Amino acid sequence: MPPTGISNDEAIILPSVMQVDLLAGTAARKAILEHLELCPFKILQIEQRVRLLENKFSLLIGYMIGTGIIGGTIGAWIVQAAIK
């Protein structure tokens, strides 16, 4: 009999660590699956948006390089014309 005077029939039985881990893991998986189903921002939409941002960023880098090359070429021509 436990020291508090409670009989074994009335004692609180705690679940094992493995049971708690299994229950928590199941609850987490269920929550994630429900979130994936109900989330307004679907995974595919996020991947498309990231791909779009990557394309826009690469275009911006390309424009910067292109204008740098064009500007450098024109600047070199002006300097060469001024030296002659």
What is the residue extent of each domain of the chain? 17-83
- Supply the mean pLDDT for the chain: 84
Instruction: Quote the pLDDT of residue 18.
Output: 87
Return the pLDDT at 7: 67
The reported pTM is: 0.42
Cβ-contact 1, 8 below 8 angstroms: yes
pLDDT given for residue 70 in this prediction: 94
Residue 26: its H or E element: helix 17-38
The per-residue pLDDT for 43 is 65
Extract the residue ranges of the chain whose pLDDT is less than 50.
Answer: 1-2
Position 24 scores a pLDDT of 93
